[in-house]
């Protein structure tokens, strides 16, 4: 069990970090099958800051990996499933802010389970 109490859960051979994430995946599959969303993706990754060199020091880039991505009509949406405020760590909050700045045309939804 992790420090936040979540348990890995498997659905259709896919392992999710938590039961809440697995249940959200099933809900999104229903939405896709009903034509409410399209292009459902698992763990889409977005670059927040490219790798760079400064004063001879090399720095790795920063990426944000959401739990899910899809389209609602023409609107691109990414989702992150969280088990409440405790799982919204300072690193997540910073990456969410950077994501919202960098990808202003993509809606980030935090789903609290």
Could you tell me if residue 3 is inside a domain?
no
Could you tell me if residue 22 is inside a domain?
yes
User: What is the number of domains present in the chain?
Assistant: 1
Residue 36 belongs to domain spanning = 18-112
- Residue 57: CATH number of its domain: 3.40.1350.10
Q: Report whether pLDDT(86) > 80.
A: no
On whether the pTM is more than 0.85, the answer is yes
pLDDT at 35: 97
Across the range 11-18, mean pLDDT stands at 93
pLDDT at 85: 80
Q: What is the 3-state secondary structure (H, E, C) of 9-72?
A: EEECCEEECCHHHHHHHHHHHHHHHCCCCEEEEECCEEEEECCEEECCEEECCEEEECCEEEEE
């Amino acid at each position: 069990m992790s420090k936040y109490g979540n348990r890995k859960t498997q659905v259709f051979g896919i392992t999710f970090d938590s039961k809440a994430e697995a249940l959200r995946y099933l809900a999104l599959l229903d939405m896709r099958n009903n034509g409410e969303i399209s292009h459902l993706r698992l763990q889409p990754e977005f670059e927040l800051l490219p790798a760079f060199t400064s004063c001879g020091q090399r720095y790795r880039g920063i990426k944000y990996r959401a739990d899910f991505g899809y389209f609602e009509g023409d609107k691109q949406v990414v989702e992150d499933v969280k088990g409440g405020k405790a799982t919204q760590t300072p690193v997540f909050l910073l990456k969410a802010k950077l994501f919202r700045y960098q990808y202003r045309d993509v809606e980030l939804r935090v789903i609290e389970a």
